[in-house]
Amino acid sequence: MFPVDCISHAAMSLVKRLCQQSDKPFVPLRGAGLAPFCAALKKGAITARGV
């Protein structure tokens, strides 16, 4: 997870490529606040339970 408003486009591309290479999820967040972080966690928890 990383906030897209805090890094450059090149850095985001690098993170995406590294995630793909290591078979890890790529989770960009809309912002650096708590709300986007909690929303991403909630979305991941719902997906993990199969709901």
What's the total number of domains in the chain? Answer: 1
pTM value?
0.68
Please state, in angstroms and rounded to a whole number, the distance separating the CA atoms of residues 28 and 25: 10
pLDDT confidence of residue 25: 87
Tell me how far apart the alpha carbons of residues 12 and 28 are, in angstroms, rounded to a whole number.
8
Q: Decide: 36 and 4 in contact? Cβ < 8 Å.
A: no
Domain extent, residue 41, equals 2-49
C-alpha 1/C-alpha 15 separation (Å) is 10
Residue 17: what pLDDT? Answer: 96
Let me know the angle formed at the C-alpha of 29 by 28 and 34, rounded to the nearest 5 degrees: 150
In this prediction, residue 13 carries a pLDDT of 93
What was the pLDDT predicted at 51?
Answer: 43
pLDDT in tens, 1-51: 888 888 899 999 999 999 999 998 888 998 999 999 999 898 885 565 544
